[in-house]
Amino acid sequence: MSINARLKEVRKMLQMQQKEFAKKLGISKTSYCSIETGKTVLADRNIGLVCEVFNVNELWLRFGEGSAFKLPLSAARGEEEMLILSLFRKLSAEMKIVVLQKMKEFLAMDAPLTTPQPEPPVKLLGFSNSFEKNKQQEA
């Protein structure tokens, strides 16, 4: 099976139309159709984008090795969560602390008055010391 056929298979597994799939990749439906039919080569940057946006295993997409998805489809996170995680990973350690603090503020604004919100899992991310120092400095 070619990379183009595997790309089409991913789209069908996700039960998406070509137009919708192309839009999520930031390309036109015409360009996507050309890729899927093999008229246009799937560029490396688009391979990376497909893998990131749709949680696709790059080895499978390129060579047909392994499973199609990094996680079983039923365990895959939503697109928005994957994008947030991907962007978060690109931040410096200092910026990650700032983002976590802002998220905590957003949670407080979004939470119903009677429902307490759990603390963000800062310690699990390895930033507990820096986060606590910043918290103490603010006080």
pLDDT of residue 51: 92
Helix axes 128-138, 93-110, angle to 10 degrees: 60
Give residue 113's pLDDT. Answer: 55
Tell me, what DSSP letter sits at residue 73? G
Q: Which of 4, 7, 16, 24 is nearest to 79 (CA)?
A: 24
Q: Which residues of the chain have pLDDT under 70?
A: 71-80, 111-139
| pLDDT for position 11 | 93
pTM tops 0.75: no
Q: Which pLDDT score is estimated for 74?
A: 43
Q: Where does CATH 1.10.260.40 sit in the chain?
A: 3-75
The domain over range 3-75 is classified in CATH as 1.10.260.40: yes
pLDDT of residue 77: 54
